[in-house]
Structure 1
């Protein structure tokens, strides 16, 4: 259990190789480059919400609504991870406070016990959660488009190159077959003379 948790925080293979692995997973998913990119972007956008534990469900719902690839949305939620969540939460909270017109530093949830939070979670957490939810909307929209365009280009390039490779292989095979057929035909004709 601790090994999995540690691997989630710090991949054994290294961050670059992990990113390459995720890229390979993404470009090889079934569907058009648009549907896979929409799914990936939906996952990235839903990672901006403060609803930890529900990002997969929310991203799958958004991908389904936008007719994107649901599996790609799960890959897109990797944007939200223990390294990026603190930054995401601060940014969405600041944006939400700005949209609501309240001072971001006036609210504090410090000093409450776990029992108090469990007894009245909405009353204690709403001063922080409401701005975060509101701030996650514009942040999610920006992240959606920031994730969609590069993903669509990467996936499209991969699929185009793969199709070109398959086409070249098919042509080479046809040429070999034609050469082998011509050789056989020449032998037949030579034997009849």
Structure 2
């Protein structure tokens, strides 16, 4: 299982290291994509990540890779959605509770979508912030160590 996850993560990481852009732009793009990946807007995540990366002057390829990497958490989606809803619900003090024993079709009606959508969006937006900040820092550090400048020569053109 861990070998599979390592393989799945290594392929985008290798492609990310091949992107020709500044380490800041690549790290910002990856963090942007990962942040947008937390939003429960299926079908719009890639477009939103591209738009936000463009606005923030981050790398758009890295943003798409970030959204794709977030999709590795799909097996944990029910847990993440519940955590996002609980966080948003506490902050908005919405009165709607997710029914535990009703068929799934009852959850997909307009009343349920309108009353749970706000708390889930708020919770996912807040939950994505720490992950994006950590991703930005780790990626920037890794990319800067990869592209460390050579030591400066002394006054005569010789290296120290």
TM range (shorter): 0.7 to 0.9
1:99 aligns with 2:96: no
Q: How many pairs does the alignment contain? A: 147
2:42 corresponds to which of 27, 48, 52: 52
The answer to whether the aligner puts 1:141 opposite 2:129 as a matched pair is: yes
Q: 1:70 aligns with which of 60, 70, 73?
A: 60
Does the 8 A contact of 1:48 with 1:92 survive in 2? Answer: no
The answer as to whether partners of 1:60 and 1:74 remain within 8 angstroms in 2 is yes
Matches within 5 A, 1:1-193: 14-77=4-67, 78-81=69-72, 82-102=74-94, 106-108=97-99, 110-111=102-103, 113=105, 117=108, 121-160=109-148
Runs of 4+ in 1 over 6 A off after TM superposition: none
* Uncovered stretches (5+) of structure 1, i.e. residues with no partner: 1-9, 165-193
**Largest Rg, 1 or 2:** 1
Render the CA deviation track for 1:118-156: whole Å, top value 9, x for unaligned: xxx432312222110111221122221021100111111
Change beyond 3 A, Cα 1:60–1:84: farther
Shift, 1:112, TM fit? 6.2
Contact 1:93 1:128 in 2 (8 A): yes
Residue ranges of structure 2 left out of the alignment (5+ in a row): 151-160
Q: Report the aligned-residue RMSD.
A: 2.5
Q: Is the 8 A contact 1:27 1:154 kept in 2?
A: no
SS in 2 for 1:14: helix
Q: Secondary structure at the match of 1:139?
A: helix
Using structure 2 for the length normalisation, give the TM-score. Answer: 0.79
Question: Cα offset for 1:32?
Answer: 0.3
CA apart distance, 1:87:
3.0
Deviations 1:39-83 (A, max 9, x none): 000010011111112111111111111110011001101213322
1:59–1:73 CA contact under 8 A, matched in 2: yes
